[in-house]
Amino acid sequence: MNCTGPLAAGVKAVPDGKKAASHAQAMWRFLANPRVTPEGLSVPLLAATREAVTADGGEYVLAVADWSRVNDGGHASKRDRLQMTHATDVGDELQSSLLVSAEDGAPLGVPVQDLVTAQGVWSSCADTISPKVSSPLDELSERMSWLEQQKFGPRLVHVIDREADSVGHLRRWTRDGQLWLVRAKGNSTVRYGNGSMRIDAVAKQLGYTRERQVLCQGRPIQHWIASAPVVLTRPAKPKKIGADGRRQRPVPGEPLKARLVVSRLYDEAGHLVAEWFLLTSVPETVSAARVALWYDFRWQIESFFKLLKQAGHQLEQWGTGERGSPIQASADRHPGLYPGVAPLCAADRGGTSRPAVSRALVRQADEGISPCYPLRLVGWRFHTVRHPRFP
């Protein structure tokens, strides 16, 4: 049994007197069972997420999405490794959606994840492997639609980093009635006032309001916010390659109304430390300052990926043999795809724990449904005083 306490976030052996190797063997047998599917394994985790969302009680819940590469360069027995940038850059791509409280940034759960391999896409919401989609944003669009279909209760706001600055996908998400918040590129063009201009040029014309003070390396930093209505009129530029080997032509679309929120950090001398350009379809009833804070909460998913790769999990160092069943192809390397070692979002709010989340998975273990090992995510508490993150 691992007795390193709360500093180690990795899998713990159940304190039942049995050896850790026995638990590992039980898990292997469970995952090798052909009747066990990724979708079936995700049921307890999805139920725990629903429970956490209900307990949160907010009007909105943030659905933070991101991608993370899993390096399998030293795992030669894994036959479905995906080649990425070059011959030795091989592994998988983990595509995750993390639900986060819009009130305080506390993580609520990981209801769905996809795993892209050379053979296709494994998903925690499907029993079989699917063909690879044309782009990560197309995959994300399908995942967003699935999340909306779950009817969690509060409105979902999909928070995505700069790779989602794709006007074609923003139009698609708006047509589907989804709320989104993305970081935009400074050189993207929008219609502002009577003309079309770059976003960074629009930012220079806005009036800013001081919202809060944060600390950067022990120094006070001032957080200033500005916002303005803009319209996206530029054509979409798909990256898909046609049968002739060329990229598709730009696709015109209807004008898309959005709100531009500019978040700036200044030091004591008045120097600009960091700047973010945010585009959102969230209603005006949500203040620009709150929108900027929501984007700041996006960093929770970076902590989630770091936890999987370090902090006791060491995901990229897991050694497995050749695939013996479909469930192994998706689950034996990635804990977020099944509740057996799925990270429990049991972070607290200022010291108050979320026992309902942990009880849900512990109950599954007690009832013998699956060998669930409850984990604790260390370092996931949000602090309003913290280092700014540069683009």
Residue 286, C-beta contacts closer than 8 angstroms, at least 6 positions apart? 60
292 vs 312, residue with greater confidence: 292
Average pLDDT (361-388) is 33
What local confidence, expressed as pLDDT, does residue 144 receive?
A: 95
Cα(290)–Cα(284) distance, rounded to whole angstroms?
A: 11
Overall residue count recorded for the chain in this entry: 391
- pLDDT the model gives residue 171: 96
Domain spans of the chain, in order of start: 1-161+298-391
pLDDT at 329: 39
pLDDT tens digits, 342-368: 333 333 333 334 434 333 333 333 343
What mean pLDDT do residues 164-169 have? 92
Whether this model's pTM surpasses 0.85: no
Q: How many CB atoms lie within 10 A of CB 149?
A: 8
What average pLDDT does this structure show over 115-128? 82
CA–CA gap between residue 269 and residue 221 (Å, rounded): 10
193 vs 119, higher pLDDT: 193
DSSP 368: T
Tokens of 280: 């959102």
The per-residue pLDDT for 229 is: 97
The pair phi, psi for residue 260, each rounded to 5°, is -95, 125
Question: What is the rounded CA–CA span in Å between residue 259 and residue 20?
Answer: 53
Q: Tell me, what's the pLDDT at 11?
A: 54
Q: Who wins on pLDDT, 93 or 191? A: 191
pLDDT at 14: 64
Mean pLDDT of 92-120: 88
Q: Percent of the chain, pLDDT > 70?
A: 74
Least confident of 45-49, 156-160, 385-389: 385-389
- Average pLDDT, rounded, for the chain: 76
What local confidence, expressed as pLDDT, does residue 320 receive?
53
Q: Structure tokens of 27?
A: 């898990």
The reported pLDDT for the residue numbered 378 is 31
Report d(CA 332, CA 233) in Å as an integer: 45
Could you report the per-residue pLDDT of 22-66, keeping only the tens digit for each?
Answer: 877 887 787 778 887 778 878 888 999 999 999 999 999 999 999
DSSP helix/strand/coil, 195: strand
pLDDT for 254 beyond 80 = yes
